[in-house]
Amino acid sequence: KVKKIDRNIIDRDYQIECVNVLSKNIKNSVRDKYLIEMATGCGKTRIATALIKRLFQSNYINKVLFICDRNNLVEQAESAFNEYLGNYSNYVLRAGKYKHENQIVISTLQTFINCYNDLNSGYFDLIIIDECHRSIYGQFRKSLDFFSCVKVGLTATPCSVSQDFDNQEDKEFIRDTFKFFEIEDVGPTFSYTMEKGISEGFLIPYKTYEAKTIRTSSED
């Protein structure tokens, strides 16, 4: 039986909806890869924390890997887990030294790619990939493909294969992100845009300031 969401971790309607969508799909084994597209500042780390707690309490998982691409995101995740997941032991992976008695591993990709082969492919039940659009290339992708488990990607980057891009590199990374999560035809599992966050009062509206350098002014 799926346990209730801890409202001390998340309390906004879109956050609750996101965790419910993920939980339902994971429970019903709809697929093993999910992509969450959510604007910066809307609480992706808290959503991941609430999901992890719910799945632990529902006995769906025993071992979790939380992957980041920067040290400050590792610190952010560790702080959230220590605050809200006190009953589940976590640690930051350093120099390939695994603490197998702990339930949650937090690591940068740069550390993880050097030591993932020390584990078997079924070691993790859940892998959450923060800023996942930067984590699916070359040796990074190989380390994620190695494990047979549920994978959830988090990104603030707008994802639409049908979009027109001036930059070919942007277009390719969108396509590769969708391809990795096997959602080319269906799109993100859950999406909450910056525009919606602003309209619902969770994000502050932005202002655009245009400026010209001496060079661009002279070219005009």
**Residues in CB range of 102: below 8 A, 6 or more apart:** 89, 90, 91
* End-to-end Cα distance, the chain: 65
Out of 43-57, 73-87, 181-195, pick the least confident. 181-195
Q: Is 203 helix (H, G, I), strand (E, B) or coil?
A: coil
Longest dimension (CA), the chain: 67
Asked if pLDDT for residue 178 goes beyond 90, the answer is no
Q: Name the strands in the sheet holding 33-38, side by side, starting at the edge strand that comes first in the sequence.
A: 90-92, 104-108, 64-68, 126-129, 150-155, 33-38, 190-192
Query: Mind listing the pLDDT tens digit for each residue in 3-51?
Result: 899 999 999 999 999 999 999 999 998 789 999 999 999 999 999 999 9
- CA dist., res. 49 & res. 4, Å (int): 13
Q: How confident is the model at residue 173 (pLDDT cuts 50, 70, 90)?
A: low
pTM above the 0.75 mark?
yes
